[in-house]
A and B are shown apart, each in its own frame.
Chain A
Amino acid sequence: MSETQPRSRAPRHLAQSVATHTVLIAGAVLMVGPFLWEVVTALKPFAETTQLPPTLLPHHWEWSNFSKVFESLPFGRMFLNTVLMTAGRTAAQVVFCAMAGYAFARMRFRGSALLFGLFLSVLMVPALVFLIPQYEIIQSLGWLNSLQGLIVPGMFSAFGTFLLRQFFMALPHDVEEAARLDGANPWQIFWRIALPLARPGLLALTILTALWSWNDLMYPLVINTDPQKMTLSAGLATLQGEHFTDYSVLMAGSLMATAPMIVAFVLLQRHFIQGIAFTGSKG
């Protein structure tokens, strides 16, 4: 009995493992295949993209697709704008949301429930609805085609406040209580004690905000129409207008615009995945 058990198990285990990997590999091909096709297309001359049957690898490696992107777009400038927008929004949002989230989680003040409810209502409204009034506000501030126009509204987040409030609520009270008895004021307790404990939550918000800012389309597209002030996603959208069917140039542009975030993800994958997983557990 004890002899047959492992022997009969091994092949079953092997069969199960083969089946699992077959399914997972098939899935992975579906997930990654399009990206490989993107790379291959970006390296083909235009004529080769409209050739039947399509070539699997480029016959002629056409590197000029990338330089065509540079000719159509001030790519370096757009890259810089996107980095600055992402960094500015993310840094401010993490600090502001942590402050507000902590206050909602731990402090008693008049109107807190009403205010929090109002914040949550923002989550129910499609982002597009904010666009026209936001445009008018930015215009009246004289911030159209400016970096601060890109950054400022994105510094505040109902989602981030909610996320960090949930996190602070789950923290144990006793350390903060001890600090309070030692005479620390609420800000010191927040900044020196609660914030370091909230690192996983802050990390999650940092990653999500950075990702969403990097990929944000409609708001930057509407606010900044000067190519020198555009972000990469807006630039990419205008590239599609210019090279509508020249997919080799479009794929080269897409590749260039998405590569930084993909590289960041591959390098920091553990943090990305923890961050996303974290939002799921605290919802």
Chain B
Amino acid sequence: MTHTAAARPAARPSRAATRRGRRPGRRRERAWAYLMIAPTTIGLSVFYLWPIAQTFYDSFTSSGPFGGSTWAGTANYAALAQEPTVGQAVVNTFLYTAIQLAGIPLAVLVAALLNQKGLRGRSVYRVLYFLPVVTMPVAVAMLWRWMYDGNYGLVNYLLSTVGIHGPHWASDPDIALYSLAAIGLWMSLGYNMVIFLAGLQGVPTEFYEAARMDGAGPVRIFLRITVPMLSPNIFFVTILTVINSLQMFDLAYMMMSTPGSAAGAANPALPKVRSITYLFFQKAFIEHDIGFGAAVAFVLVGFIVLVTFVQFRLQKRWVHYV
């Protein structure tokens, strides 16, 4: 009461004095700031932050067969350390991620080729390489499932014309993860290439000319100029690739399971393909073991935070900001 009474008269005269005095302007600005962040803050809190908190809480509970849950302490985390499917899922996820990282040099190379002075058809190539990026992942998975078909797929047909009897790419346990990773590379090449191409366009052409004058060949120019100049972009793409690959799900889900039936009931390659998010999905959505699933999810979050942190730590050693 006294507070408002005191604030009112003080606010009035100062309104005219905003230009001189700072504090009331500040307060008004703060009010505007809260208004402007309000929609996003409320929305993210309700639909994202609250779910994170709830799932984190769930990871310390065990769910009964008919719903309802009881506090379980760290039992889920202890249990997942014992479960072999978890270890295998971690291996699968990191292997997939490593292969996706190997795609980055490929994208740099394509961008460097496209960036050559006077190259004809640059924009056509750019569009063609970019097409998979704008294609629905569901459709991509379906298309590759068909391409990979052991009997009638195009891949095996093409191999058979040179006398190779191809395997069942999507259901052979020793191969399926690599087949999946190949699709991941196919889908992300265009995206990464566009980012690198933009980065390359910021490199002054004098750098290349000077190097050429010194007699440097294309390989040397690529390694000594292109790569260091692109290092901030490479860093960005690496961070993004790691986060996305560690969370890989849609592709595995569409390749491995028939929607509508139990996940992966049919595919013998599932154990060797199952990513951490897939395991979460299977535990939480199919087996209704939400507590265990949540624990699996937070182990993944731990990995993501850790790997991203390490990358930011290491960036000083190799990223050159101009």
The interface of chain A, by Cβ under 8 A from chain B, is 16-17, 20-21, 23-24, 27-28, 30-32, 34-35, 37-38, 41, 49-54, 96-97, 99-100, 102-104, 107-110, 112, 115, 118-119, 121-134, 137, 152-153, 155-158, 161, 181, 185-187, 190, 211, 214-215, 217-218, 221, 232-233, 236-238, 240-241, 244, 247, 250-251, 254-255, 257-258, 261-262, 264-266, 269, 272-273, 276-281, 283
Contacts and interface: CB of A to CB of B under 8 A. Distances in A.
Given A129-B297, A133-B50, A158-B44, A24 B125 contact: yes
B136 interface: yes
A162 B154 CA distance: 43
Contacts of A34: 143-144, 147, 154, 186
Interface stretch (B2-10, B75-83, B163-171, B300-308): B300-308
B127 A266 contact: yes
A14 to B, nearest CB: 12
Given A49-B152, A133-B55, A276-B191, A250 B26 contact: no
Nearest to B34: A109
- B-side interface size class: 35 or more
Given A54-B157, A272-B130, A276-B194, A96 B39 contact: yes
Contact of A27 (B129, B142, B250, B281): B129
Given A108-B30, A258-B136, A277 B43 contact: no
Contacts of B236: 280, 283
Contacts of A262: 131, 134-135
B285 to A, nearest CB: 8
B284 A132 contact: yes
A237 B263 CA distance: 13
A221 B281 CA distance: 14
Contact of B40 (A49, A54, A161): A161
Given A24-B110, A34-B147, A277 B48 contact: no
A250 B146 contact: yes
B198 A107 contact: no
A258 B54 contact: no
Contacts of B294: 129
Contacts of B218: 16
A272 B129 CA distance: 13
A186 B110 contact: no
Nearest to A282: B236
26 contacts: A28-B125, A99-B40, A100-B37, A104-B37, A108-B26, A108-B33, A115-B41, A124-B301, A126-B280, A126-B300, A128-B247, A128-B277, A130-B55, A137-B50, A153-B48, A156-B43, A158-B44, A211-B134, A236-B136, A236-B138, A238-B259, A240-B258, A254-B143, A258-B139, A277-B195, A277-B197
A273 to B, nearest CB: 5
A57 B301 CA distance: 48
Nearest to A29: B128
B37 A241 contact: no
Identify whether the interface residues of A are mostly helix, strand, loop, or mixed. helix
Contacts of B189: 31
A12 to B, nearest CB: 11
Given A27-B110, A132-B55, A107 B33 contact: yes
B207 interface: no
Nearest to A250: B142
Contacts of A123: 243
B280 A129 contact: yes
A78 B41 CA distance: 31
B208 interface: no
Interface stretch (B95-103, B111-119, B173-181): B111-119
Given A161-B40, A236-B139, A250-B142, A125 B131 contact: no
Given A187-B32, A218-B250, A261-B136, A30 B52 contact: no
Contacts of A237: 138, 254, 259
A233 B114 CA distance: 33
B142 A130 contact: no
Given A232-B136, A233-B136, A133 B54 contact: yes
Contacts of B237: 280
B313 interface: no
A52 B127 CA distance: 33
